[in-house]
Amino acid sequence: MQNHKLLFSAVCAFALTTSTFAAEKSSLGKADFLHGPIKAKLGGIAEIQVPEGYSFTGAEGTKKLMEMMGNTVDGTELGFLAPTNANWFVIFEFDASGYVKDDEKDKLDADGILASIRRGTEEANKARKKMGIAPVTVVGWEQPPKYNPETHNLEWAIRGESEGEPVVNYNTRVLGRKGVMAVTVVGDPAEVKTAMPDFNQLMAGYSFQSGQTYAEFKPGDKVAKYGLAALVVGGAAVGAAKLGLFATLAVFLKKAWKLVIVAVVAVAAMFKKLFGRLLGNRDRSDTFQ
């Protein structure tokens, strides 16, 4: 049995409504935003060039935004980046699970991986139903998994549906010496698809800091107990499951919630309403109130 047959994952949608935004707007507190052009730090691990027309907040601001959107936070959050029109945004999270070997790069079975994701989504939907959250149906690949051995980037996109509306997630995993930077693009499916050239240009300005790059791996460094296929279907939580370290479904879902993010169609309009003016403010000293 291939390794990916042992994997399962949850695909979770953001539960966003206008009333939720109105009720939780105050939870932002003071989230400092920097406006491009500027080079922004992603913890002490990496950095990203923020172009003109984009705004960025670091770990603390990202946590506040994620919580406001109904997502759990676990300290892996390092950055939030969005164009000032707020039609879509990018979340950066770092999983310090160790060096991920890329020896599966020529063995990624897209059909098998998708089947695993579907099974995991069906299991997750049982828990979502109990919580009163709409189920998600996995339709198929928007972009099958592909790995670039030069940049050590693993990319994929999944098409889904929730309550009759299309949902999509675009995912990039950048392999480093000590772990993986998860980069997730969130927004209206149509907006995100057209934004991918801009996102790819953004990622050209991403880099690990010295000592953190994949090429700087040294014998004795921590090695992750999962491979590329596991990153697609759930990352570190699934890697643990492969080793037989099965936790309860509730615990797994709590982890998986942070590993795969799918946005509902309403994201773009709501972010435009809530953050459009604030993200467009050119004064770098401004904070959200």
184: its two tokens = 């997730």
For residue 61, count CB atoms less than 10 angstroms from its CB and return exposed for 0-12, middle for 13-18, buried for 19 or more: buried
Q: Residue 21: its pLDDT value, please?
A: 33
287 lies in some domain = no
**Average pLDDT of the segment spanning 215-224:** 97
286 lies in some domain = no
DSSP 8-state symbol, 27: G
Q: Residue 71: its pLDDT value, please?
A: 67
Residue 87's CB is within 10 A of a number of other CB atoms, namely: 20
d(CA 5, CA 154): 20
Task: Calculate the CA 247 to chain-centre distance.
Answer: 22
**Average pLDDT of the segment spanning 125-143:** 84
Residue count of the chain, please give it: 289
What is the Cβ-side half-sphere exposure of residue 135, based on CA atoms within 13 angstroms? 14
Q: Are 230 and 239 in contact (CB under 8 A)?
A: yes
Percent of the chain past pLDDT 90, that is, above it, reads: 41
Q: Which of 60-74, 80-94, 108-122, 224-238 shows the lowest mean pLDDT across its residues?
A: 224-238
d(CA 117, CA 123): 10
30 lies in some domain = yes
Residue 285's CB is within 10 A of a number of other CB atoms, namely: 7
Confidence grade of residue 79 (pLDDT, cut at 50, 70, 90): very high
How many structural domains compose the chain? 1
Q: What are phi and psi of 264, to 5 degrees?
A: -85, 160
* Segments forming the whole domain that contains residue 244: 3-279
284 lies in some domain = no
Arithmetic mean of pLDDT over the chain: 73
285 lies in some domain = no
CATH number of the domain to which 262 belongs: 3.40.1000.10
Residue 271's CB is within 10 A of a number of other CB atoms, namely: 25
Q: Are 288 and 31 in contact (CB under 8 A)?
A: yes
Summarised one tens digit per residue, pLDDT across range 35-67 is: 999 999 999 999 999 999 999 999 999 998 887
Percent of the chain past pLDDT 70, that is, above it, reads: 69
Listing from the earlier edge strand, what are the strands of the sheet with 137-148?
34-35, 54-57, 77-83, 88-95, 180-187, 165-175, 153-162, 137-148
For residue 6, count CB atoms less than 10 angstroms from its CB and return exposed for 0-12, middle for 13-18, buried for 19 or more: middle
